[in-house]
Structure 1
Amino acid sequence: MHVVSDLGEIPPPWRGAAVALGNFDGVHRGHAVVIAATAEAARRLGAPVAALTFEPHPRELFRPDDPPFRLTLAEAKRDALAALGVEVLVSVPFDHAFSRIPAEAFVRDILVQRLGARHVACGPNFHFGHRRGGTPALLEALGAELGFGVTVVEKAVGEGGLPLSSTAVREALAAGDVPRANAILGRPWEIRGVVQRGAALGRTLGFPTANIPLGRHLAPRFGVYAVRAGVEDEAGGVTWFDGAASVGLRPTVNPLPEPLLEVFLFDFAGDLYGRRLRVAFAAFLREEAKFASLEALAAQMRADCDAARSLLAPV
């Protein structure tokens, strides 16, 4: 995938694309419908498939004191969009100056003049431009005037009325309903990050964990999860291991001020400090708890690992 973040210099091969528009946080199955509509237009026009999104997410700019809410950061979003067939990602740097661009100017100056978009696609609730003044109806009107096609995709709904939205994913993860979140996404939800040194309490208890700060990632329901963890190598390859993970404030010993992801990889030997991990969530096992002793904590960790192994075992 080619990534463009400088709107002043769009390489000629990527001008004239069919462009999917949206924040695409999570890149869920509803987003996949928008990408599919974009790809269909691209095939018809003989054009590249592009997605235009914003980084950081506008909510992070306007509501900086909100708790972190992102389902996918830039790298994970890029990979998920590429898997859906997006060939070029236009990642617009979103700041206060950009937020003041009127909706019509966004269409004329960016979509048409700079990108040369021949077709755009979006969901029914997509808004853009200053004070979110741009709507799908405005896109359609300007498309008719300026000569680009517009597809407004209907609100996507999954099996049994399953809502396919980023909000629905966040709600499922807040409730610990990992299967529901993954069903909306169409793949396991992941947290990616670099392993940092911690207090080594897990190692002391016989469960050496890889510590990954959540950063701007959404914090799911605090507790213990069955996970699959991918260890990235220098060439970009990933080796996957089953494991158990804890998300929370670690209340038993030296409680933390910010939530932390701690991952224990089954059947792994080696040093993970400084390595990049992809932690894919499979199931919620139990809520976070404070234990009366380290012995009680260690006993529960053994039970958690047994439960995770059983759940992750091939059928």
Structure 2
Amino acid sequence: MTQPVVVTHPGQIPAGLRGATVALGNMDGVHLGHRAVLAAAHAARPEAPLAVLTFEPHPREHFRPDDPPFRLTLLPAKAAALGELGAALVVALPFDAELAAMPAERFFRDVLREGLGAVHLSCGQDFAFGHRRGGDAGTLTRLAEAAGIGLTVVPPLVDGQGPISSTRIRRALQDGYPERATAMLGRPWEIRGEVVHGDKLGRVLGWPTANLWMGRYLEPARGVYAVTVVLPDGQEVKGVSNIGRRPTLGGDPQTRLETYIFDWSGDLYGQEIGIRLRHFLRADAKFDGLEALKAAIARDAADARAVLG
């Protein structure tokens, strides 16, 4: 699947991708519910290019900048996931004070109708847009009908626990249930980032790790996970990760993700890798010195190998 064209302004859309059928929403996580919104957009006008209109940063990051990080996907990973679902174009509108103040009718006219030249729209039932979320699916229905643009409002996708949502996925991860997140996402949750230099203690202990900062990603339950690692060349290998602040070593101000990759050696510094959380093994713990920590890491590695098969 080719990477979609990503633009931040309707004026940047290549001529061949104007007149698209457009799926609307923040799409954080690109979960099964988002997949249904894309499928509905494509099904309505299969001959038209498939586009997604999203916002960057997430509106919540704009309105509540002091909130803890909560993102499931950052734009590059989100665009890649949308491309795998057939999107040829991703319009990531910069969410700023000007966009936040734009009335719903003007957003529809300037962005959707004239900016994108949309021929069909699709959204979830809870989609809201415009100043103070003044526009909803009902508003969109009225405006689209008047403009002669088709609209599909997609009901929530439901599993045994209720509607699938980014909020539920975040909660599953924070509670230490990555398998539940996987079921709602349709794929394992992945944290992508650049490998940074640590203090090389893992190497001293005999367990060299690739270290990432969590950055704007949601912080899941702190502790040890069985993971798979997507290397820079796309190869997927197995490993064990710790997400936490290293209480045994006096504690860190920021949460880090440290991963020991099984049966692999090489230099990853400065390169981007993806860590896919598969199973939660145990909560973060403080050990009585480095020997106890070393023994715990050995047990964790054995447990991760066993659960990954």
Compute the TM-score of the two structures, normalised by the length of structure 1: 0.95
**Superposition map of 1:265-304 within 5 A:** 265-304=261-300
User: Which residue pairs with 1:83 in the alignment?
Assistant: 84
- Counterpart amino acid of 1:6? H
User: Which residue pairs with 1:155 in the alignment?
Assistant: 156
3-state SS, counterpart of residue 277 of structure 2: strand
2:70 maps to 1:69 = yes
**Superposition map of 1:176-191 within 5 A:** 176-191=176-191
3-state SS, counterpart of residue 182 of structure 1: helix
User: Which residue pairs with 1:12 in the alignment?
Assistant: 15
Whether the aligned pair in 2 keeps the contact of 1:225 and 1:282 (CA below 8 Å) is yes
Instruction: Quote the sequence identity (%).
Output: 51
User: Which residue pairs with 1:30 in the alignment?
Assistant: 33
Matched residues, number: 306
Residues of 2 paired with 1:185 and 1:127: CA distance? 22
User: Which residue pairs with 1:306 in the alignment?
Assistant: 302
User: Which residue pairs with 2:173 in the alignment?
Assistant: 173
User: Which residue pairs with 1:42 in the alignment?
Assistant: 45
- Counterpart amino acid of 1:114? G
Unaligned runs of 5+ in 1: none
1:174 shift after superposition = 0.5
Of residues 256, 263, 266 in structure 2, which corresponds to 1:260? 256
Residues of 2 paired with 1:170 and 1:211: CA distance? 22
Residues of 2 paired with 1:41 and 1:90: CA distance? 20
1:107 shift after superposition = 0.3
- Counterpart amino acid of 2:32? R
User: Which residue pairs with 2:202 in the alignment?
Assistant: 202
3-state SS, counterpart of residue 10 of structure 2: coil
- Counterpart amino acid of 2:7? V
Residues of 1 paired with 2:111 and 2:148: CA distance? 14
Residues of 2 paired with 1:11 and 1:138: CA distance? 29
User: Which residue pairs with 1:107 in the alignment?
Assistant: 108
3-state SS, counterpart of residue 248 of structure 2: coil
Between stretches 9-18 and 250-259, larger displacement belongs to 9-18
- Counterpart amino acid of 1:146? A
Residues of 1 paired with 2:192 and 2:12: CA distance? 30
1:155 shift after superposition = 1.2
Q: What is the aligned-residue RMSD (CA, Å)?
A: 0.9
3-state SS, counterpart of residue 85 of structure 1: coil
Deviations 1:165-209 (A, max 9, x none): 100000000100011011000000000000000111111111001
Residues of 2 paired with 1:278 and 1:238: CA distance? 9
1:241 shift after superposition = 1.3
**Superposition map of 1:204-283 within 5 A:** 204-232=204-232, 237-283=233-279
User: Which residue pairs with 2:140 in the alignment?
Assistant: 139
Whether the aligned pair in 2 keeps the contact of 1:162 and 1:184 (CA below 8 Å) is no
Deviations 1:117-163 (A, max 9, x none): 011000000101111111000110011101101110011102x2453
- Counterpart amino acid of 1:259? T
Residues of 2 paired with 1:154 and 1:264: CA distance? 42
Whether the aligned pair in 2 keeps the contact of 1:228 and 1:240 (CA below 8 Å) is yes
Deviations 1:42-63 (A, max 9, x none): 21xx211110000010100110
